[in-house]
Amino acid sequence: MKRENYLSWDEYFMGIAELSAKRSKDPSTQVGACIVSTDNKILSVGYNGMPKACSDDEFPWDRQGSNLETKYFFVCHAELNAILNFRGGTLEGSRLYATLFPCNECAKAIIQAGIKEIIYSCDKYASTDSVLASKMMFKAAGVKLTPYSSSGKDISISL
């Protein structure tokens, strides 16, 4: 029997990353990440948010203003959160699914963790120095970069 309504691994894991992004309280950019082993087991997930014990309601989410009035000094990115949320073994050789291409700071953590492939669904900051630096480091470290290609299936979940 041929099944046509199943999800590919990429669709499944990017779906997990997209669902994780919905946990973010960031009003402008919700980002999610899902780290997967070589045998397609979910190892960790993350989303962009404040560090543990730092209230999402007490720290700023603004994009404009002085450094201490904006989110940039406080928010932990989805990719870094997924790495930090991992609690066992090694991430060596794993894949990371991200809804947004990783910044240079996350790229360093990804490389240090031994993650070998990034599958990303959006690269809207491709021309920024941060992403250009990420791509330079990923290339030097041999990290494979794969743009996510949606099959166009309409997947909806009602909660």
Q: Select from 112, 100, 91, 93 the least CA-distant residue to 43.
A: 91
Separation of CA 11 from chain center = 15
Contact 152, 130 (CB under 8 A): no
Contact 70, 60 (CB under 8 A): yes
Both tokens of 46, joined, read 């993350």
| Token pair for 14 | 């990017």
- Contact of 48 with 84, CB cutoff 8 Å: no
Which residues form the catalytic set?
A: 79
